[in-house]
Every structure is written in structure tokens, then in C-alpha cells.
Chains A and B, each alone.
Chain A
Amino acid sequence: MTTLERTRVDNTSARGEAPCIAACPINQDARDYVQLIARGRFEEAFRLVRSKNTFPASCGRICTRRCEDACRRSAVDEPIAIAWLKRFLSDKDFSPSLENRKARYQEKVAIVGAGPAGLTAANDLSLLGYKCVIFEELLEPGGMLRTGVPRYRLPGHSLDSDISDILRLGVELRTGVKLGLDITVDTLFEEDFKAVFIGIGAHKSLRLDVPGEDLAGVIPAVEFLRKISLGKTINLGKKVVVIGGGDTALDSARTALRVGAKEVTIVYRRSVEEMPCEKVGRLEAEEEGVRFKFLTSPVELLGNDGVKVVKCIKMELGEPDQSGRRRPIPVTGSEFVMDVDNVIMAIGQLPELSSLNDSGLSVTSKNVIGVEEETLATNRPGVFAGGDAVKVGGTLIEAIAHGRRAAVAIHGYLRGKGFDASKGPTPMTDISSRRIGLIKRELRKKVPILSAGIRVRDFSEVELGYSDQLAMMEARRCLNCGAGAEVDPELCAACLTCVRVCPYDVPELNRVEKKAKIGVDCQSCGICVVECPARAITLKDRYEDRGMDGLKKAVEEFSGPEFGPRVVVFLCLYDSQSEVVVSRLGRTRSNIKTVQVSCIGKLDSTLMLKAFEEGADGVVVAGCLPGECPYQTGHAWAKKRFDYVAGILSDMGLEAERFQWLSPSPTEQFFKEMEQMTEELKKLGPVFKRSR
């Protein structure tokens, strides 16, 4: 097909935020930290995560991952494992660069409840310059993360590291202080706190209201999980029934197995499709031997000396209710009984609002503290509230978002400024269906997990986490949505080169401005950036990795007049052997400098020449293996440019041995070829006489 015959379909817009970022309640920079991981820049990635997210280790493990649900890669194969990557970073034990800082303002802020919302508010208020004191009823901070999430999902040391990074900002934590007993909102104001944030969570189990609920052996899930988490013992019998279908029900069932129950059954009144819990957790529970009884509801608990029998009734699904899920309706005459030793009630939680009696705070019809949606301000001036205390069933990331918002609102309140309720960013459009087939399929890298038989023995963490290599490979699957190529219309000569070279057919002619325009479906392969004759295209990505900085650094390291010979190796960052080659050459060869490029297809011909200009005696371009290129065509473009430059160099009388195209794998072969090249260069001598 010739250019003149080619017709184009409308392209996507160039606007909109990456969906992973837009979907996150705190707009965590998921794309950017994933891109940093892809480049092996782990510490920077962690810093970026921590700049918005106070609980990286916890979020990396138990977040509900709206980012992954929104990931555009799903249309190609599977979403990027964003949470696993965040967890990978948290496992590295980098400390955030944030240090203990002196309060800038005189006003002190009291925070009630050391859960994720309260701790986040304290973190952000400290950074804004306020002295914060957190009052916590339990002896350890963490809230539901500490008492409600079992250790096999969130190990204590991971939670501790998140919290200690917050406390080291100068936040004061007072534990064993009970709201309503030791302190009240009034006493806090009397103690000279100028604002109060209430993040007391939802630690009261809902009742099912069936006969027999108060029998011995019937345990509310919140209490059960709290006791186990805090190291207390609960003697469970052999047979345990858990009532409910959410994550708390799953956590209770799996915890019951780990503390000695032999037969654990989850009883849920709707079907598996309606279960509000995480699918992965349900599958893991199944593997561990948890049984499920769907479309079943308890009607009565029976027993003389403690619960012995659960009388249930079968349900069928009727019309959808307010929540959009189909309403379960009892099937007449379908009653049956189950023998049990314990029943764990996991049907929901509410905040313990009795502790706020006489505080003058309004309570909504849903039995949570009433707050203004944007500012989280309660009806009482200076009192703010967030987390599960204002929205039951919230997630960790929502609690963090509340903490962040409350901090800004409290700052505004104390400084007499308003609250700028900025709307979150709008996500970009979906990837165009005609482009999906052009993107190379690459399934997500699974995180290794303990086998079911081993994991039920104790509370060891089930997911084992990524190695460096796996994390980088996973991160490189990221499509870098919204950080791709961008045309400077001032420089664009409308030559249409980009339109013609793009392997994904993304650039198009803006028919009004008569300039090229590149939409959000750009995959950041960089081919147009290099090919643009007017140099009008750049990557929006802020991580320069086309080799310019790398080469500058490499040639600076060449020193001394003695002859090495000096070699610059341009390597594809995406090649699976790239890291091996870089570290081995770095260790063993001071005369050979490596420059990594994120896809060798981004390597400009002028850079290959520049290496010689800056004093290299030999230059190697080591593209990936033909099948390995994530962009499919990067390898071919690099080879074409290599051949072109080789032609110019040969015209100039430079020996062919000085400029070589090698494959980095198999690595042994590569190192052998590098040896040979070094020998040849020794015979040839330097390109220029050494002057420095």
C-alpha cells in the first residue's frame, strides 16, 4: 500500500490522565513508579509512591486495586500487577526522605484513632507544619490494619514499617487512651487542641438478629480477628461456620483454619457472583479447604451449653435491590441444619458511636458520623472525621484519601483559608480496538505464593513477592499511557514522517492546524522521536532514557591518555540479559561503558556517531533478540539505523571492526565477541590521538 492510497481511521484524543492514576482515590502516580521500576530505579520509585501514599507496604498487599481494574493493558491481555509492584518496593526497606520536622505553626491537632485515616492525616499535617497527637485506644497503632487484617495477608513488620515512617515525622502517639472515657472532643479542645480529626473506624460487629445469637461459641468476626491479631488465644471447636460474604468473612474463615478449626464453612445468602470479597482471596481460601454454602441463610442458632446447630434456609435470587445485586428470597420448606462448634458472624461493622455521646456530632441515618463530603468537616467547627467512621465498608485507600483530604481541610480551617475542592483528573479514552492487535501480548508475571498445605500451618505471608528481575519484567509491560510522544507544533514541518513510521498507526494529521498530532494510544516506542527530521517530537515521559544522559556519563568516565581501548555499548534495557551484561561489564571492564536505552529502537543515529566524536574507539549496538522487542519493530529500526551509520563511517574510512551490531544473548557468546572486538581494537589503535 502506498502512502497516497492509505486512508486513516480517526485517532484518539491526546488528552486525559492515565486511567490507573485517575481511578485511584489518592491519584497515586502508578504509571510513573511502574516506569521507574522498569528502569531499575527502585529507590526513586519508592519515594514517588511514598510522596502520596502513607501505607505503601500495606497498600501493596491489601489494596482493592482500582488502578488495576482501570488498566488499559487489560484490553490486550492482563492489567499490570501494580499492587504487587508497590509491595515489591516496600519490601526493599528504603526509608522515605521525609525527616522529622519542627512544627511551623503553633496550633496543635488531635487525632483520635491510629488507623490509616488518622495516621495519614497526621502525616500530612506534620508535613504542612502542625504538631499532631494521636490518641489510640489499643496499645498498638494501625487500626483495622492491625486488628482486622490477618497477618498472612499483611505481616506485622510491614505494617510497622509503614507506621514508623509516619511517626518519625514527629507525630506523637498516645496509646491506651479511650475516647468517651479518658478523653472527649470537649476535653481535647480544653487541652488546647485547635482541631480534631476523628478516625475511629468501624469496630462494632453488626447483629443478624436471629434467635440464639447470644449463645456461647458465637463470635463476632471483628472481635475474633482482633483477638487473634493481638496474640490472644481463642479456643475454636472442630467445625466452624462463618456467616457473611465479604473480606471479613474470608479473613475469619482462613484465620479459623490457622488456629485449629478442621472444617470451616462460609454461609452466604446470595450466589458466588454477588460475593463482595476479593476473588483472589476466595480462590485462595478454597485452596486452603474453606467450604462455601451459597444461597443459604441462617434462621436460628441452637444449643444448650453453647451453639451446636445452625438452622439454615435455602434462598433464591429475585429482582435486583438498591445495591444492584439480586435480592435473596427464602425458599419455603427448604430448612436444614448444620452441626457446628462455633459460629463467626461477619455480616458487617459499624462505628462504635457511643464513645461520642455528648460530643454534639451529628450521626447519619446509616449510623456513621455525618460529614461534609468534600472537606470531611462535621457539624461542629474544628472537628473533622474520616475513614470507616464516616463510610462503612470503605477500603484502605479510601481511608488514606480521607486522611489526605482532612489534612488539607484542617490546614484550610486553621489558616482561615477555604478548601479548594479540585475535581480528580479525567481518565483518557480506552485504547482503540483497532490498535489492540498491534500490541504484543505478554501475560503478567505471577507473584510466587506459598502452597495451600504449607500456608494453613501458621500466619506466614501467603504471597512471597517479586524478585528484582520479575518486578522489572512486569513493570515493562506497562503501556505508559499518556506519557508517550508529543509533537511541538512550532517545530513540526508536517512532513508526516511520524504518521508513516508508527508501528501502531497513532500519529495523525491535525487537519485544522496542519500539524502532526499524537494521541494517547502512543506506546512510547520512540521511533517517531528519532525519525522526525525536524526534531519536533519528544516523549512526555520524564525519564530520559534514549541514551543521551547515559552517553554523557559514559564518556566522562573515559579518562587518561593511555589506550584501553575505549568502547561504548548501547544496550536495550528491555532485553532479558541487559542487567547481567551491564553489571558484568561494569565489574570487569573499565574500558567498556554501557549505555542503556529503553528499547534500542529509541537510539538515534546521531548518538551512535556522538560516541565516536567523544572519543570511543569502538561502538557496539546490542539490540534485543528479534522476538524479544516489546514494541516488535524497535529491533528492525535500530538495525536499519545501524547499517546507515555503518555506511557513513565506512565512507569516512573508519574500520568496520570499530562499529559492531551484537546480540547480548547468549551472554557467553556476547562476552566472547566483546573480547575479540577489544583485541581487534588494540591492533587498530585509537581513532584519534589522545589529547587529554
Chain B
Amino acid sequence: MIVAKPKSLEYIKKRIKNHKKIAVVGCGGCVTVRPVGGEKQVAELASVLRIWAKKEGLNLEIEEDTALRQCEPEFIDELSDKMKGCDAAISLACGVGAQCLAERYSDVKVSPGVDAVFMGATIEPGLYWERCVGCGDCIIGETGGYCPVSRCAKSLLNGPCGGSQGGKCEVDPNTPCVWEQIYKRSEESGDRDAIDKFVPPKDWSIRPSRLTLEHVRVKTEGRAT
């Protein structure tokens, strides 16, 4: 799931300062679950901005709404009542959602309220770790279920490096060295492929930025309207 962190209030204030009516728009997907952009955070941010606006004597009207998922056109359409008359919006979705919002409401100046940082998992409530970079060529089958691309500071495919100290990464002593974990798992399972086999450098050129799944694609071209 996508993990994001809130942008500074300073940034958001700057983005909306010269507007009359803005919308704070949340997303019911990843950012609700890793709570930075759900209904509750929308209410918090809207409240903070109202206090700020009143304090500054700004004449700013603030709407609140949350799409079930901000990356689906149908759900973005449902925001239209609240978006009406807004000249700016803060999207608390990831960059995908924020762009979809900007595209659909092109007359509204959309700014991000959060920064999506990675695709990760909840380690414990409030603590999330990156687990995937979307490299386009997953190798965790060969590496005991651990992804060295996202979890090694150097993304080494043939680790560990000399910076592995007592099972920890030299970059951050709180991060376990993923290659040490891969070794341990290999020994436990008796599958020594990950350790014994040389993995050639990753071919980043095969990573698509546009994906077509023909078997699910619905061609809209030529369809009667």
C-alpha cells in the first residue's frame, strides 16, 4: 500500500493564500488506512486552515470531502458538489489521486497536501517500512521472500556489502541488513540459490510506465455514445 507523509502547513498555507474558496479532499484508499488523508485528517486540516484564515483575517471558505478512491473517475465525479466554485484544492491523496483530481477539475488549482513516500507495510501502528519500489522485475522468489531492491540501502542484488554490521545496516543501525536476513532464510530452508547464484544487474529498461492488460481492457474507441 502507498505510504505518505503530511506536507508542512507552511507549504499548504502558501498554496491557498490567494484563493477565496478551497476544498480539502481526502481519499478512502491507502491514505485512509495509513492515516494521513482520510476523512478525519480532512476534518483536522480544514479546521486548522479555518482557524488560520480567521486569524489572518482572510476571507476563505473551506469545503471538506473524501472520495472513496481519488484515483477512480467515478469517485472523483462524486466530489463535484463540493468542488463547485472552488478555485483551489488540497488533495490528501497520493500523487496519483491528486493528479486525477487536477485533471478532472481543471479549473481548480490542485495542490498536494501529502507526499507519497513509498509502497510499504505497517510494522506496528504508526510505523511503516518500504517494501517495494515497483522495479518491474520481482526477484523475491529467489531471495527468500525479502526484497533487496527496496530494503537494502544500496539495492544490492548480490549482498551483503561490507557495511553490514552485526546484522544491521551501516546507513541506519535500526534497519536490519536485508542480506543477512536473506542468508539466514536460505540456510534455514536449504535453498541456497540466493547466496550461491550470481544475479546479473537489473534491466531497468523493461520497467513499463504504461501498462496494457489486453484481457481486461475495455476499448472505448468506436463505441456508440
* B48 contact set on A, CB distance < 8 A: 609, 648-649, 652
Asked if A2 and B51 make an inter-chain contact with CB atoms under 8 angstroms apart, the answer reads no
Asked if B28 and A493 make an inter-chain contact with CB atoms under 8 angstroms apart, the answer reads yes
* B155 CB-CB contact with A under 8 Å: no
Task: Tell me whether A2 and B9 are in contact in the complex, defined as CB-CB below 8 angstroms, given that A533-B35, A609-B47, A613-B51 are known contacts.
Answer: no
Of chain A, the residue at the smallest CB distance from B39 is A535
Residues of chain B having any CB pair with chain A under 8 Å: 8-10, 28-29, 32-35, 38-41, 43-44, 47-48, 50-52, 54-55, 57, 121-125
Shortest Cβ distance from residue A185 to the other chain B in the assembled complex, whole angstroms: 67
* B57 contact set on A, CB distance < 8 A: 688-689
Q: Which of B41, B50, B54, B125 contacts A3 (CB 8 A)?
A: B125
* A531 contact set on B, CB distance < 8 A: 35
Shortest Cβ distance from residue B218 to the other chain A in the assembled complex, whole angstroms: 26
* A533 contact set on B, CB distance < 8 A: 32-33, 35, 38-41
* B38 contact set on A, CB distance < 8 A: 493, 533-535
* A495 CB-CB contact with B under 8 Å: yes
Query: Which of A493, A649, A654 has most chain B Cβ within 10 Å?
Result: A493
Asked if B28 and A534 make an inter-chain contact with CB atoms under 8 angstroms apart, the answer reads yes
* A2 contact set on B, CB distance < 8 A: 123-124
- What 6 A-B pairs come out closest when comparing CB atoms? A495-B33, A533-B38, A533-B35, A609-B47, A651-B9, A500-B125
* B121 contact set on A, CB distance < 8 A: 4
Of chain B, the residue at the smallest CB distance from A647 is B9
* B39 contact set on A, CB distance < 8 A: 533-535
Q: How far apart sit A162 and B193, CA to CA, in the bound complex (Å)?
A: 85
Chain A residues touching B, majority SS = loop
Q: Which of B33, B43, B122 contacts A606 (CB 8 A)?
A: B43
Shortest Cβ distance from residue B223 to the other chain A in the assembled complex, whole angstroms: 33
* A55 CB-CB contact with B under 8 Å: no
Of chain B, the residue at the smallest CB distance from A687 is B55
Shortest Cβ distance from residue A616 to the other chain B in the assembled complex, whole angstroms: 10
| Count of A-B residue pairs with CB < 8 Å | 85
Known pairs A494-B33, A500-B125, A652-B9 / 10 extra A-B pairs, C-beta < 8 Å: A4-B121, A4-B123, A497-B125, A501-B125, A533-B38, A533-B39, A534-B32, A652-B48, A687-B55, A688-B54
* B10 contact set on A, CB distance < 8 A: 651
* B9 contact set on A, CB distance < 8 A: 648, 651-652
Interface size band for A: 20 to 34
* A84 CB-CB contact with B under 8 Å: no
Interface 0/1 of A609-625, CB less than 8 Å to B = 11011000000000000
* A493 contact set on B, CB distance < 8 A: 28-29, 32-33, 38
Asked if B40 and A606 make an inter-chain contact with CB atoms under 8 angstroms apart, the answer reads yes
Q: How far apart sit A654 and B54, CA to CA, in the bound complex (Å)?
A: 12
Query: Which of B32, B34, B47 has most chain A Cβ within 10 Å?
Result: B47
* B44 contact set on A, CB distance < 8 A: 605-606, 609, 648
Interface 0/1 of A1-44, CB less than 8 Å to B = 01110000000000000000000000000000000000000000
Shortest Cβ distance from residue B147 to the other chain A in the assembled complex, whole angstroms: 15
Q: How far apart sit A2 and B128, CA to CA, in the bound complex (Å)?
A: 11
Shortest Cβ distance from residue A633 to the other chain B in the assembled complex, whole angstroms: 13
Query: Which of A493, A533, A652 has most chain B Cβ within 10 Å?
Result: A533
Q: How far apart sit A610 and B10, CA to CA, in the bound complex (Å)?
A: 20
Of chain B, the residue at the smallest CB distance from A605 is B44
* A689 contact set on B, CB distance < 8 A: 57
* A494 contact set on B, CB distance < 8 A: 33
Asked if B122 and A652 make an inter-chain contact with CB atoms under 8 angstroms apart, the answer reads no
Q: How far apart sit A430 and B8, CA to CA, in the bound complex (Å)?
A: 48
Of chain B, the residue at the smallest CB distance from A640 is B126
Q: Which of A3, A495, A501, A652 contacts B51 (CB 8 A)?
A: A652
* A4 contact set on B, CB distance < 8 A: 121, 123
Shortest Cβ distance from residue A521 to the other chain B in the assembled complex, whole angstroms: 20
Asked if A497 and B51 make an inter-chain contact with CB atoms under 8 angstroms apart, the answer reads no
Q: How far apart sit A606 and B41, CA to CA, in the bound complex (Å)?
A: 9
* A114 CB-CB contact with B under 8 Å: no
* A495 contact set on B, CB distance < 8 A: 32-35
Of chain B, the residue at the smallest CB distance from A691 is B54
Task: Tell me whether A3 and B52 are in contact in the complex, defined as CB-CB below 8 angstroms, given that A534-B38, A689-B57 are known contacts.
Answer: no
Shortest Cβ distance from residue B77 to the other chain A in the assembled complex, whole angstroms: 20
Shortest Cβ distance from residue B138 to the other chain A in the assembled complex, whole angstroms: 19
* A605 contact set on B, CB distance < 8 A: 44
* A532 CB-CB contact with B under 8 Å: yes
Q: Within A570-615, which residues are at the interface with B (CB < 8 Å)?
A: 604-606, 609-610, 612-613
Asked if A606 and B32 make an inter-chain contact with CB atoms under 8 angstroms apart, the answer reads no
Asked if A3 and B123 make an inter-chain contact with CB atoms under 8 angstroms apart, the answer reads yes
Asked if B40 and A535 make an inter-chain contact with CB atoms under 8 angstroms apart, the answer reads yes
Interface 0/1 of A661-692, CB less than 8 Å to B = 00000000000000000000000000111000
Q: How far apart sit A495 and B39, CA to CA, in the bound complex (Å)?
A: 13
Shortest Cβ distance from residue B145 to the other chain A in the assembled complex, whole angstroms: 12
Shortest Cβ distance from residue B149 to the other chain A in the assembled complex, whole angstroms: 20
A sample of 13 inter-chain contacts (CB < 8 A) reads A3-B123, A4-B121, A497-B35, A500-B125, A533-B35, A534-B28, A609-B44, A609-B48, A648-B9, A649-B48, A651-B8, A652-B9, A687-B55
* B34 contact set on A, CB distance < 8 A: 495
* A3 contact set on B, CB distance < 8 A: 122-125
* A687 contact set on B, CB distance < 8 A: 51, 54-55
Shortest Cβ distance from residue B62 to the other chain A in the assembled complex, whole angstroms: 10
Shortest Cβ distance from residue A244 to the other chain B in the assembled complex, whole angstroms: 62
Q: Which of B29, B43, B51 contacts A654 (CB 8 A)?
A: B51
* A688 contact set on B, CB distance < 8 A: 54-55, 57
Of chain B, the residue at the smallest CB distance from A615 is B54
* B33 contact set on A, CB distance < 8 A: 493-497, 533
Q: How far apart sit A494 and B29, CA to CA, in the bound complex (Å)?
A: 10
Query: Which of A3, A613, A689 has most chain B Cβ within 10 Å?
Result: A613
Q: How far apart sit A496 and B1, CA to CA, in the bound complex (Å)?
A: 14
Of chain A, the residue at the smallest CB distance from B49 is A652
* A535 contact set on B, CB distance < 8 A: 38-40
